[in-house]
Chains A and B, each alone.
Chain A
Amino acid sequence: MVDIRIPIGLMFTIVGIIISVFGFVTISNTEMYHKSLGINVNIIMGILMLIFGLIMLFFAFRKKKKA
């Protein structure tokens, strides 16, 4: 069957890129990040999701190579 880590990895990689890019584009928009206590949560969460997605993909493909 399909390795579930591939779709999870792909989705988080894509969403992570979108959110972090959006975070960098809006970096100077202090009004928007006033809610989140002045923290640019988009950059932080975006990068976190990207890393998570890549880790999932890494493990999925490492297993595939072995098999």
Chain B
Amino acid sequence: MRRSMAVGLLIISILTMACGGAADVDDYKAAFVYVGPADDGGWSQAHDVGRQFLVDETGIETAYTELIPEDATEFRTVAEAYIEQGYNIIFGTTFGYIDAMAEMAEEYPDVIFLHCSGYLSNDSNFGNYFGKMYQPRYLSGLAAGAMTESNKIGYVAAFPIPEVIRGINAFATGVKEVNPDATVEVVWTFTWFGPEEETQAANALIETGVDVLAQHQDSPSTGVVAETNGAKWISYNTAYGQEAAPGAFVTAPVWAWGPYYVDVVNTIIDGEFAGGAYWGGMDTGLVSLYELSSDVPSDIADLISQKTEQIVAGEFDPPIVEEEFIDNVIGTVSP
């Protein structure tokens, strides 16, 4: 019985080889280019965790280069070195690589380029990917609305661009649902990563009387301010900062790139990859809400898990508003 199965497998494999159709994982090597250190505890680390997941799941050979500035020449140098070494899937994980990736996709039609957070793609070897972060942000708003006692919530935000604005609105939608009296006050820092600017912004919000702080920033400064002032804090990116502000940490909308990386690499191996844009929601596991801290009231925790199920099942999706703030947000989208 066993022998006949083995013979059968052998025949099948010879047949597939003869047809020359399906490739396998050994034909591909994937290279990742990061803007920050691979262990920055935030954005780039989330991608590197995804890369390791990809290796564990598929066994594909990977490599990465960290700290590559958002600069066309820098990216090209790194990517060309990888292509020379036989890497044929290149992941660029920050917005600023966009032009270099678009150009290189034309120059190297046999190499697949995947760009995170961009908007350019073609229908053969260049795709972009991102996640519906507004979904877990909405869920974190439910927690924030329930936990504020002063009915004032602060939001330290990076830049007034659609991605950030729709995150704020989704968050405020969640807040409004559990606490119609609460407001969300926004302060822009005009930096993705700026420990001093973020500290100043968080302090300014504390002075207006907020007792819950959320953020769209890459450093845990806001959390440290919350911890010092006895406020609560919704983190971002990863559960980064949980250790720096254990008393303030409530939860965090987080990225998990691993499942997407496995999917897209499998699609490529199967020969079905066709470029295009990918925008994964909570149903794909790309974005999610980190485990709630124990001080979230249990009825709210239940509400959050119920809403999570609805979002995952596609029965509910928080509204996407990117042009202006909804009515319980204090601040301006074009400061």
A and B: bona fide binding partners:
no
